[in-house]
Amino acid sequence: MRSDKTKKSVEKAPHRSLMKATGLTDEEISRPFIGVVNSANELIPGHIHLNQIVSAVKAGVRLAGGTPMEFSVIGMCDGIAMNHEGMKYSLPTREIIADSIELIAMGHAFDAMVFVPNCDKIVPGMLMACLRLNIPSIVVSGGPMLKGHLNGKDIDLISVFEGVGQLKAGKITQEELRELEDAACPSAGSCSGMFTANSMNCLTEALGLGLPGNGTIPAPLSARIRLAKLSGMKVMELLDKDIKPRDIATLKAFKNAIAVDMALGCSTNTVLHVPAISYEAGIELDLDDFNNMSSKVPHLCNLSPAGPYHLEDLYYAGGIQALMKRLAETDILNTDVLTVTGSTLKANLASARIVDPEIIRPINAPYHKQGGIAILRGSLAPDGAVVKQSGVAPEMMKRKGVARVFDSEEDATKAIMSGKINKGDIIVIRYEGPRGGPGMREMLTPTSAIAGMGMDKDVALITDGRFSGGTRGAAIGHISPEAAQGGPIAFVRQGDVIEIDIPERRIDLLVDEKEMEQRRKGWTPPKKELSGVLKRYANMALSADKGARYRD
């Protein structure tokens, strides 16, 4: 066992003495050491209950003969960090989470590990560490929040963000906004739609690194506690069989996960995170992998923010296993891949059942014929851009409009909220990329304001930053190269015409090359005074089309 180097032989008597100082007995020291990574904190609704989940995991480990050893990692709530300087710090936490787990796992020589995340950057950060370490491991999330209810309607966090826009447009009162605020987030858990946290938890299950139910069992249900206990027991089986994460997360498994991504209509942030995770397994994915899968996989689940359903609805409809069973009706999935159950995906799907064919549509009756995400390229984004096409109104799938240019999210939001954006405008927000932001801020506030004000069928927004999984409308992010790297978006001027053609996968700036050459002369990016984490991230981050991960 890996942990023997910390506890076997007479030379390790000092090490054992330190372990005994923590309360461990000789019997516990003799067993396999199982690292349990806990991201619980009092900051995030998705993490407020994780100590209970971790307690169940540790019970499962002990039941199966292991010694669990818990340690903590940081976690930030993107919703609370939204629309201020704090959001610049969110994406860099992904790398810090992965690095900090690697440091502890190597220093303490764990034999196996259980990862307990729940929200936006914590899930991919833990998956990156899981594949980097490549010791027997399993992931169990805290599960999704219940949906809210108000005046006979299902609501969620995005209802509140859009409510701000409705208030600004005079559509609701402050009291009605307060009612939304009080009702939208009724329980612990990751926010209840197919936003980034739930997208990544579902893809963890699709990838095979989480047990069936990992993505969809609601946080408050006892089934979530049982899943955590089973995960603790199962990691001991993975250790016994020496099944490692890279044995599971193969190229075929990643393609399965991308297929599920398209069928669910997941967050555009998956296009950042999945390639960064696969890189840790020695597998390089690019934007074409997403586009190719999008052309083959129909959009089968219409979840918030694009549709009326939520994660608990998907759970009761059969969950991710049922969706994968639906996809397995074709040749889209490879069902011979191994999973953390110790069995193949094919064996797992044998017991899956599609309970509600409206929530998990048949292959021949999808919500959309193509997958939820599209990759656009063109003169404005030579290296690619990302849009959640399942959340775009039909009227906005093709659009030619006049550019309204802003060099920060704050300036754009101020213009939107003060009624200075007109129908037909294309809002450009630049210098918000991985290096230029730095940190590639999510921009849920401006997109929600546009939707709440009723302009989501008239106004597009493009940026070298990124969007929340809760964004809907013609919101095109990850424009690459970013402005700070001298990408074409840096040279867009007020009044330029931009053409968007999502079906043709195009986004073009209708300015001739001679004019663009003139604009590039003497250009330098705006200087920002940076220090600490943001300075390091700006120097080390790759472009969005490379997952915004650190350079080697």
* Tens digit of each residue's pLDDT (9 = 90 or more) over 152-180: 999 999 999 999 989 988 999 999 999 99
Query: What is the mean pLDDT of the segment spanning 516-526?
Result: 94
Return the pLDDT at 472.
87
Beta bridge partner(s), residue 428: 405, 462
The more confident residue out of 454 and 462 is 462
Return the pLDDT at 351.
95
Sequence letter at residue 192: S
3-class secondary-structure state, position 64: coil
**Rounded CA gap, 49 and 42, in Å?**
9
Return the pLDDT at 451.
87
- Asked if the model's pLDDT at residue 469 lies above 90, the reply is no
Beta bridge partner(s), residue 144: 190
Return the percentage of the chain with pLDDT > 70, whole number: 100
Query: What is the mean pLDDT of the segment spanning 70-86?
Result: 95
Return the pLDDT at 468.
87
- Check if the beta carbon of residue 181 is closer than 8 Å to that of residue 173: no
**Does residue 468 carry a catalytic annotation?**
yes
- Check if the beta carbon of residue 333 is closer than 8 Å to that of residue 256: yes
Tokens of 35: 């690292």
Encode pLDDT of 211-243 as tens digits: 999 999 999 999 999 999 999 999 999 999 999
**Rounded CA gap, 393 and 405, in Å?**
23
Sequence letter at residue 401: G
Return the percentage of the chain with pLDDT > 90, whole number: 95
DSSP string, 366-419: -SBSS-S-EEEEETTEEEEEEE-GGGS-GGGSEEEEEEEEESSHHHHHHHHHTT
Query: What is the mean pLDDT of the segment spanning 89-114?
Result: 98
Q: What is the average pLDDT score of the chain?
A: 96
Encode pLDDT of 287-331 as tens digits: 999 999 999 999 999 999 999 999 999 999 999 999 999 999 999
**H or E stretch covering 102:** helix 90-108
Return the pLDDT at 552.
86
Q: Given 187, 192, 468, 543, which residue is catalytic?
A: 468
Angle at 106 between CA 103 and CA 112, to 5 degrees: 120
- Asked if the model's pLDDT at residue 448 lies above 90, the reply is no
* pLDDT category of residue 435 using cuts at 50, 70 and 90: very high
Return the pLDDT at 470.
81
- pTM, two decimal places: 0.96
